[in-house]
């Protein structure tokens, strides 16, 4: 269990660092909460909610257009993968505030339409391959 928690927190750190590296704001995708109050996410178009107090595994949920559509996603990396699946299945547009992050998910990680890259993503791909 400890090894899984460490792996999950490393993946979370990598995803959040990727967002910052691309010049975007991680809070546009993730919403961290430590209190037990029912939060209002009716204004959230696309977000991953991370609810936990630090002592145990966090409860990770996906919100689309103000509604929780998936709960108990285990960790943020799995939630990101599930969110990409929902985006494709429901034919949703990426949020413009996270355009480069979702481009990396789509074109570098999933290898879909990988020939047309923006300058930022091409630069990241070059750095990763050298």
- pLDDT, residue 36, reads 59
Indicate whether 117 belongs to any domain.
no
Structure tokens at 120: 């930022």
pTM: 0.86
Non-local CB neighbours of 57 within 8 Å, separated by 6+ positions: 5, 8, 74, 75
- pLDDT, residue 114, reads 74
- pLDDT, residue 2, reads 47
Indicate whether 125 belongs to any domain.
no
Indicate whether 79 belongs to any domain.
yes
- pLDDT, residue 18, reads 96
- pLDDT, residue 4, reads 47
Kindly state the DSSP code that residue 98 receives in the 8-state scheme.
G
* Distance from C-alpha of 98 to C-alpha of 42, rounded to nearest angstrom: 19
Indicate whether 103 belongs to any domain.
no
Indicate whether 109 belongs to any domain.
no
Indicate whether 115 belongs to any domain.
no
Residues in the chain where the model's pLDDT stays below 50: 1-4
Indicate whether 37 belongs to any domain.
yes
The domain tally of the chain equals 1
Indicate whether 100 belongs to any domain.
no
Backbone angles phi, psi at 24, to 5 degrees: -110, 175
Question: Which residue range(s) make up the domain with 49?
Answer: 2-92
């Amino acid at each position: 269990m400890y090894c899984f928690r460490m792996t999950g927190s490393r993946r979370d750190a990598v995803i959040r660092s990727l967002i910052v590296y691309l010049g975007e704001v991680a809070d546009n995708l993730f919403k961290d909460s430590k209190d037990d109050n029912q939060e209002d996410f009716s204004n959230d178009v696309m977000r991953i909610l991370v609810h936990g107090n630090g002592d145990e595994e966090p409860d990770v949920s996906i919100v689309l257009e103000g509604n929780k559509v998936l709960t108990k996603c285990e960790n943020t990396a799995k939630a990101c993968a599930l969110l990409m699946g929902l985006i494709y299945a429901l034919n949703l547009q990426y949020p413009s505030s996270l355009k480069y992050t979702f481009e990396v998910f789509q074109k570098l990680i999933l290898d879909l339409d990988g020939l047309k890259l923006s300058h930022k993503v091409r630069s990241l791909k070059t750095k990763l391959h050298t």
